[in-house]
Structure 1
């Protein structure tokens, strides 16, 4: 099941916060995941967006045929794929087949995760620190850690902290995210057929 029926609709934008989602414990006991959206279908997704709480060191699950994006939202960060990643360091992209080891730097972290089936169109993750025009996009999302205001054309959509907002067939009008100079992690998520 996707969360489209549970999200709040504001014109063509849907929203869901991590607080609205019951966390699912990992089989290895190393953390919990809050799945914000599996699009277009929960069992046959092209894009999957989640927030995870990592409590202890361990390997990521393998996802053959899937590209992944990972960013630290809170905590001291992790060592992953030969890099130290902390809040504000941007996002790391890697192939799901790699199933890398994740080592906590100093205690638990909360992290943003995006996954995309490699053979299902084109997916991009971009910092939401500048305006974006979704020309040619079939699906557009925005994730914000601290909340703010999403302005798409003449529509304004207020976003709470830890919110995923998304719309299908977005108008090719300017999208701006204003977080009130909080400078928290926020990313545009863009999917297209080609």
Structure 2
């Protein structure tokens, strides 16, 4: 399957119910009403608790701003840190360190899927292509989010250009074809995510 590109500016902002910020959904799979995988960019404008998401595993990374103090015991998350992982039902308190932040969020329904979010530390890197479960997957989702922009290349010679603040992703039903990513600007934030969705009862880490 070809890569799909989603731009941050094309995603409509959704205000939080508590008024603490806005979220832009870049990926909700398979649909917005009953998603199993959700990737979004949030802009946190003031202190307050995160919303509770029962049965969801979350990954959180700071894209810009001074960072946040999250949870109890407190974890300090700054721009140069890797993503942190926590249970969605914990609904941690969030305190801004010095003004508003922009953050990347990955959410996965743990009863139907496994996955991860990681920062790409090199300007050019080969993306993970292996299937991370022995069960028969419903779908394998993977992608790259780039703050500064870059270029994806697959072994099939497909070239996908990512503008700044955009994501490229694909969904398959088997192990994904190997691909590489090259950042336009080496010192900007780039992330890879990988999710394996299985039929209920078949999930295996």
Question: Does the pair score TM above 0.5?
Answer: yes
Which residue is equivalent to 2:144?
A: 142
Farther-moved stretch of structure 1 (99-108 vs 142-151): 142-151
Name the SS of the counterpart of 2:126 in structure 1: coil
Runs of 4+ in structure 1 deviating by more than 6 angstroms, as ranges, are none
- CA displacement 1:118-143 (0-9 Å, x = unmatched): 00121121233431232227111111
1:164 and 2:159 are equivalent in the alignment: no
Q: Is contact 1:147-1:179 (8 Å) kept?
A: yes
The alignment yields a C-alpha RMSD, in angstroms, of 1.7
Structure 1 residues 13, 171: CA separation in 2 closer, same or farther (over 3 Å shift)?
farther
1:131 and 2:106 are equivalent in the alignment: no
Which of 171, 176, 180 aligns to 2:180? It is 176
Q: Which runs of 5+ in 1 are unaligned?
A: 1-10
1:91 and 2:83 are equivalent in the alignment: yes
- How far apart are residue 42 of structure 1 and its match? 1.1
1:70 and 2:67 are equivalent in the alignment: no
Q: Is contact 1:141-1:188 (8 Å) kept?
A: yes
- How far apart are residue 171 of structure 1 and its match? 6.2
Q: Is contact 1:53-1:108 (8 Å) kept?
A: yes
Which residue is equivalent to 2:20?
A: 30
- CA displacement 1:13-42 (0-9 Å, x = unmatched): 101111111211111111000011101111
Which residue is equivalent to 1:113?
A: 105
Which residue is equivalent to 1:3?
A: none
Q: Which runs of 5+ in 2 are unaligned?
A: 133-139, 199-203
1:103 and 2:95 are equivalent in the alignment: yes
Name the SS of the counterpart of 1:19 in structure 2: helix
Normalised by the length of structure 1, the TM-score is 0.88
Which of 161, 185, 191 aligns to 1:187? It is 191
- How far apart are residue 98 of structure 1 and its match? 0.6
Name the SS of the counterpart of 1:42 in structure 2: coil
